[in-house]
Amino acid sequence: KAMYGGKLQTGLLVAGYFIYLLVGAAVFQALERTAEKQEKMAAAQMKEAFLQNFTHLTVTEVEQFMKNLTEAIQNGVYPVGNESQIEDSNWDFSNSFFFAGTVVSTIGYGTLRPKTAGGQIFCVFFALFGIPLNIVFLHRVGKMLSLLCKKLGKFLYEKGMRKKKIKFLTLLFFLAMGILVFLCLPSVFFQKTEGWSYSEGIYFAFITLSTIGFGDYVVGKQPDRNYFSYYRTLVAIWILFGLAWIALLFNL
């Protein structure tokens, strides 16, 4: 009965966690999308005006243009290419979901962030309840992983191995498997999809899973690359399990 209750609890927790992220993503999208569209249109108009008069602009006007351009880029608006970019939103659903995940996991890349007052206040409350929920969720996933560890240990113990040696071996196995599954293999994947070097992939994976999250490398962000749909969702799932693995590693 206890086992069954535990499974039910885990199921509810996982469901609750994902519903929390999905609802958060929907709210962020609703609050931020219109403001972003206005920002994009303003940037496009600014570029248009610059291209029309750039032959006889004063130094001050050019400096002002560069200032505005830098600000637009920092806000994730790239006034490059044609009008189609106005339609591609940084706040489409997969981006919003990815953003919600980076908030509760405290990675916080800083490349996508709420700019409206409503979005910012919502972000405060979303994080306030989301971060503890994330910790509980990771702890539960970690527990499930550590049960695998125990099974492995039990198997080795029955084969007549000493307890200390088993502890060392399971830790080693866990470390090696984790490094392979969460750092080495994803880096090959990032190398292919993002065009990064292998060492940049390793660097990105580590900076993300350690929740440092500088934001100098972020997946799915390059304007000139074609990503498959659900790419960022897949990365978000990798992050979740990677975080659970690291939490368990500290536990062990």
Q: With H, G, I as helix, E, B as strand and everything else as coil, classify residue 79.
A: coil
CA distance 60 to 57: 8
Position 42 scores a pLDDT of 87
Position 1 scores a pLDDT of 58
> What are the angstrom distances between the C-alpha of 125 and each of 24, 107, 128, 133?
10, 17, 5, 12
pTM to 2 decimal places: 0.85
Position 13 scores a pLDDT of 94
Position 250 scores a pLDDT of 73
Pick the CATH number of 89-251 from 3.40.50.970, 2.60.40.10, 1.10.287.70, 3.40.50.2000: 1.10.287.70
Position 149 scores a pLDDT of 82
Token digits of residue 71: 């600000």
Question: With a cut of 70, which residues of the chain have pLDDT below it?
Answer: 1-3, 82-87
Position 87 scores a pLDDT of 64
- CATH 1.10.287.70 residue ranges of the chain are 89-251
CA distance 106 to 102: 6
Position 157 scores a pLDDT of 87
C-beta separation of 72 from 43 below 8 A: yes
CA distance 141 to 37: 38
Position 28 scores a pLDDT of 97
Position 174 scores a pLDDT of 86
